[in-house]
Structure 1
């Protein structure tokens, strides 16, 4: 049982979130008994990456405001802790930010976004005439929504007779139309964590690709949160196996549906998603190219060198270290570059303390020595996740330039060239 986010009600009753039902539901403990207040197939929290975060709170003595995720889409709702009535609040969102929700004195504060809008900060006042207000938007956006590709929730069969969930974005550009006879290239995204999930809120990074003719499959591989406890625990001991299968099978699914060009499929990811990306390239021959952002190439080095908070994380994802060291060696892409034959581009922040720069540097040196087309870009002052706008722009354009070389097209945008070794 996973228990988190304990909270005392104004009347002194203990509430908490538990996955005893197979989903992270809200419970209360009263008169020495636990009661599930939200017995539905939905998650009332996210991956437990931060302390002090919760996705419910008492807005009044007898009313809880909460957020919940049902198969990848979030809603905000009002919950009566006595009758257990759960009533959705009319708000155009599909995602609640990982900072969660705060509530007290008749007011709630939370950040949320949708497929049309980046994250905004909202206030909700239960007894006000105008209950919902936008306090601040995270990104001022003057792009018309006609130019946006909307996420379509898909699920498909994967190994072990199981299902995998993902969001599919078709290419969209209101000013251009592709030839009817052509099918778009595909980029498969593998999110970080690995026990996190992707977001379906407006991501201009994704729209960068869809507006330039690429289809996107953003995979919530087994191990992701939002789909129940069994799904979340499916990656235990299987990192580098199940996530790889799910990304490959996602590509196969879109090919079988006739939606993408089977010869032009790339994969990209950052951090843990970078590991999945490199593992997909090292252990399968499905992809034509890959892009790793501060990705893990050596699991043994990660187990020895990563920061304290995640120092034993891999015990559950791979196996106990050093007792099961062989699993780490077997699943580390750096040890299997002889199997890798497609072009790869690597991005790395030089101040990264979570995945140290030597992970990307060793991968680059190995691929270069083996004659595989490879590019490596490193950035001073960047840590685990790029923050400077000029560097974010540079990485997107560099990756686009790299794909233009691999897939054989001329970029419409004027882009600074990238040095590609062994091309």
Structure 2
């Protein structure tokens, strides 16, 4: 029999340490015969990245301490490793140099091929015929000037010469040599576009000396986003384009792009990182792919000769990093009851096997809140989307007539998407009596280009309206307490949270994780990849400076009337720490309850377990003080200014 207790104060078996202590970031699945490789970013080791192999029933680490495969190209990285013929080729986080490591030699040490700083490498692929790597290189050679991106080749024989293959565009990604080694495909784009706005798909021939000849653009443009070009085993180029309004698959045939299985669904994702993979070919040339519809992913098999699609039933509703080998299809998948995991699915039987879970935490169903996909009315007679999680704890219930506090989550990007995958951090809140709504506001991916473009010119308006309307919708249904509405978010989601607290009066508290308080500062002081992002989200700067000031919470603190807690990494290259400090100082001067928790060694997006644990506990403590409940957890207090 459960105990009656105020929501927020419920005792939960999901401890703060369990949320992050043994958590893993999983990425970069690679296959070599029956062996499966992937990268693990380990919170318990300060976020260090490790190459892991599963051979038979044995899972082992392959990269030695001191070597952490990770690239900082475009700041968000990805594509940091590739495997070929028993060798690992990869970037090391500490010096950004390129190394190789013999994987089946005991106690082998990484051998440096070329220096890193001032260069960063990503999207590595082996050009076996010419004994070289092909990669994207981002060069920071001239202080005060924008880095230069190129496609380059790095010789695998000493002296490991670096040769320029393609230059002139602002950005490159996805170099893909053809199976016969005669051609190469790649993607490029230019400011002010981001890769989900407009990119170009190119093909070129390899000349006898290894240079590129006869380069021609075959698809893409200013208003067409190309994603993940791949060559089929038979040498046909396949790619994803959103020319129809949806990221769908196309094949390049006889000088034209032919749609493969057109659907109002997304076969691509925003290219925030290098190396994203949503489809691959099996030995028969069939396409094994992941596609999303209404926020949920499915796995399917498509015959490119007939466009026939056969869905492969799985419990996974978030699928990425897909690879196909002799033993089946491998991907990073998550479901409402399973965290992101390395998964193998047998294409014949449909049976699935989890090879590695990102979090070992197993939650009893009595404490597990399942996501409900909701669509709710929002501004302008439109609809928006979200995942709602009800409070769930078999040991406690709220007093009769008492609705739970609601925590409104806003994903980053802002061109990203909320996922229904099990997250211990979400269950942490729901098992303590909070309701959660994870909002896919206008501008989110997964609902077609038109939905993604709702945010163009209207960042700080559309996203805020959708967050507010999600909360109001749930209050109207009796699923949330109107007096205990909180909003939180990180990075771009942090901006949405700050803007909602400043320009609306719906929320009673909020938390910003490395959020943006000053759009003007962000426009002037951020990295190359996002340096023109605000052109589309807000408008050209400085021509539209007045709009930047108008939508920046830091300039309108007089309108903020709710308590706020801020979290910030002091080495953040994306959102400068001075933004959090300025916001804190301004709110403190106004006399509102405010707390600021800074972490000296963190960058953009916290990686260390201790950091995430402290932030989560501090946020719970903060809400307890603001909403008038005492958490059941033993929590180190956080200093809250102006709290009586």
How high is the TM-score relative to the length of structure 2? Answer: 0.64
**1:338 paired to 2:558:** yes
1:234-245 alignment runs, 5 A limit: 234-245=454-465
**1:117 paired to 2:319:** no
Which segments of 5 or more consecutive residues in structure 2 lack a partner in the other structure?
1-223
Q: How far, CA to CA, are the matches of 1:176 and 1:245 in structure 2?
A: 33
1:352 counterpart (550, 554, 572): 572
Quote the offset at 1:125 in angstroms. 4.8
Q: CA RMSD in A?
A: 1.5
1:16-165 alignment runs, 5 A limit: 16-97=239-320, 100-104=321-325, 107-126=328-347, 132-165=352-385
Corresponding residue number in structure 1 for 2:470: 250
**1:3 paired to 2:226:** yes
Quote the offset at 1:176 in angstroms. 1.1
Q: How far, CA to CA, are the matches of 1:130 and 1:78 in structure 2?
A: 12
Q: How far, CA to CA, are the matches of 1:283 and 1:126 in structure 2?
A: 51
1:22-421 alignment runs, 5 A limit: 22-97=245-320, 100-104=321-325, 107-126=328-347, 132-421=352-641
Indicate conservation of the 8 Å contact 1:349/1:357, yes or no. yes
Quote the offset at 1:106 in angstroms. 6.6
Which structure has the bigger radius of gyration? 2
Indicate conservation of the 8 Å contact 1:66/1:78, yes or no. yes
Q: How far, CA to CA, are the matches of 2:410 and 2:347 in structure 1?
A: 39
Indicate conservation of the 8 Å contact 2:312/2:350, yes or no. no
How many matched pairs?
420
Which segments of 5 or more consecutive residues in structure 1 lack a partner in the other structure?
none
> Per the alignment, in what secondary structure is the counterpart of residue 119 of structure 1?
strand
Indicate conservation of the 8 Å contact 2:314/2:350, yes or no. no
Residues 278-330 of structure 1: CA distance to partner in whole angstroms, max 9, x if unpaired? 00011011110010001000011111111121111111111111121111111
Quote the offset at 1:57 in angstroms. 1.0
- Give the 3 Å change call, closer, same or farther, for CA 58–359 of structure 1 in structure 2: same
Between Structure 1 and Structure 2, the one with more helix by share is 1
Corresponding residue number in structure 1 for 2:66: none
Q: How far, CA to CA, are the matches of 2:351 and 2:281 in structure 1?
A: 16
> Per the alignment, in what secondary structure is the counterpart of residue 338 of structure 2?
coil
Indicate conservation of the 8 Å contact 2:234/2:285, yes or no. no
Q: How far, CA to CA, are the matches of 2:430 and 2:559 in structure 1?
A: 30
**Which structure has more RCO (C-alpha within 8 Å, separation ≥ 6)?**
2
- Give the 3 Å change call, closer, same or farther, for CA 131–182 of structure 1 in structure 2: closer
> Per the alignment, in what secondary structure is the counterpart of residue 337 of structure 1?
helix
